Amino acid sequence: MRLAGRVALITGAARGLGKTYSMALAAQGASVFLTDRSSCEDVVSSIIQSGGSAASCISDVSNMSDCVTAADSATSEFGRLDILVNNAALYGSLERGHFETLPESQWDDVMAVNVKGTWQCSKAALPAMRDVGGGSIINIASLAAVYGMPQGLDYVASKAAVIGMTRAMARELGDEKIRVNAIAPSAVMTEGTSEFFGDRFEKATSAIAEMQVLKHRMEPEDLVGTLIYLASDDSLMVTGQTHMVDGGSWFL
């Protein structure tokens, strides 16, 4: 129970990676507060039935007041806040295509959630982390940002921004013992990935796995070890880093 006594706030937690992250943090003893545009009650119930501690609220990370409400609710529910996982992102629902054809409205929505949302949730969590003398912010980036995935410029640009924000925030928050790191996964077998690739899902994910040194289609559970490492005291001297969890697709 490496996170006993800690409290974590996870955004985009209703399904996919966010659900897996929430359950993994709870399994290591953290009390977890889940947020999403959709209800997280099914995930909360699963965690509680497994002996964990969890609560949730509906929240849109593109709205600053929602971010503040989520952070305040987590602190009110569990007494403190130590870990923030900025997982909420637009991905599966995005229209793919050449950058010339991407709808301007979609670009704006992606930036509002994937970039602005990460910034706003981090700001909202800071007061509670300062109160406990430190913390860990874990931003979810993507292999797409360093590989330069075609047919998805808005998503690629947003995740590249997350990597840059991680580095800048780490330098600004180091004196306060708040660490900021990113996890950049390859395509993970989630609902969002299935929606993003559509009828090309099997072909695309097979090609991605073949490109990897470790030729295995990534499952959400493959990211848990890195997440727990960054959330725990095992990474007390690690900040500003982007951890590629991609089966060896890209070497930094």
Give catalytic residue positions.
155
How many whole angstroms separate alpha carbon 58 and alpha carbon 38? 6
> Is the CA virtual torsion 233, 226, 71, 167 positive or negative?
positive
Cβ–Cβ under 8 Å, residues 124 and 9: no
Residue 114 token pair: 């994937």
Q: Residue 12 in 3-state DSSP?
A: coil
Which position has the token pair 């709808």? Answer: 103
Radius of gyration, alpha carbons of the chain: 17
How many whole angstroms separate alpha carbon 19 and alpha carbon 166? 22
Residue 22 token pair: 């929430």
One-letter identity of residue 234: D
